[in-house]
């Protein structure tokens, strides 16, 4: 296991699924329709379904395609957070949490790049995928249960409006209308196609 695998394994969800569900419920209660937090939660759910699609793909071509889609959404989401929300968190007085956010997302980017080099149907691939999924789940738990609630509470209304506009802008700039846009649309259609829980 490489040093980066160890770093990721070390943060693989120490919290239970129940705690993660509670964090999501808190963040959902704090979000308002169309605001930056509701956009974040929407993207977090799309990330979860995209990870599941990679895992459940049954042949190399479909797994590679699903990984590509996951990577597009993950990178677009991370860029928008790093350009807008983490700076907003620092400006609201939570610089330590902002720095933790950047650090964790760097580790995920390193691991996603490494994942691309592995045979898509190998056990190493599934092992690394699970480490990354766990690290992202923990990261989302921190955002939903603590960091973004702080940002929601501390930033004044005019800042909140600007965060929403800028977060949407940065995400759309990366996802765009090109081929990558299809990844987002398809991710949404996967969500739509999922049977109700």
CA distance 83 to 88: 9
CA distance 128 to 11: 13
CB of 77 to Fe ion, least distance (A): 6
CA distance 84 to 166: 7
Query: In this structure, what token pair is assigned to residue 37?
Result: 């937090």
Task: Identify which of residues 83 and 118 has a Cβ nearer to Fe ion in the complex.
Answer: 83
Query: In this structure, what token pair is assigned to residue 27?
Result: 């963040």
Task: Identify which of residues 94 and 143 has a Cβ nearer to Fe ion in the complex.
Answer: 143
Task: Identify which of residues 115 and 135 has a Cβ nearer to Fe ion in the complex.
Answer: 135
Of all residues in the shown chain, the one whose CB is closest to Fe ion is 143
With a CB cutoff of 8 Å and minimum separation 6, the contacts of 118 are 124, 125, 128
CB of 155 to Fe ion, least distance (A): 17
Task: Identify which of residues 35 and 143 has a Cβ nearer to Fe ion in the complex.
Answer: 143
CB of 41 to Fe ion, least distance (A): 9
Report the half-sphere exposure of 153 (CA within 13 A, side-chain side). 12
- Residues of this chain that bind Fe ion (CB under 5 A): 143
3-class secondary-structure state, position 93: coil
CB of 127 to Fe ion, least distance (A): 23
């Amino acid at each position: 296991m490489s040093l980066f695998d160890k770093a990721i394994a070390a943060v693989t969800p120490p919290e239970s699924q129940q705690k993660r569900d509670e964090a999501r419920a808190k963040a959902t209660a704090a979000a308002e329709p169309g605001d930056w937090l509701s956009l974040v939660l929407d993207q977090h759910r799309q990330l979860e379904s995209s990870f599941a699609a990679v895992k459940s793909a049954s042949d190399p071509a479909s797994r590679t395609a699903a990984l590509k889609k996951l990577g597009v959404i993950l990178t677009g989401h991370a860029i928008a957070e790093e350009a807008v929300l983490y700076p907003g968190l620092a400006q609201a007085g939570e610089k330590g949490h902002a720095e933790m956010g950047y650090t964790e997302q760097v580790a995920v980017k390193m691991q996603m790049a490494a994942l691309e080099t592995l045979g898509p149907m190998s056990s190493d691939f599934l092992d690394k995928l699970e480490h990354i999924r766990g690290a992202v789940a923990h990261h989302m738990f921190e955002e939903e249960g603590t960091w973004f609630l702080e940002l929601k509470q501390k930033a004044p209304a005019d800042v909140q409006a600007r965060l929403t506009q800028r977060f949407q802008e940065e995400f759309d700039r990366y996802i765009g209308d090109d081929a990558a846009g299809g990844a987002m649309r398809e991710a949404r259609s996967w969500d739509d196609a999922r049977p109700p829980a």
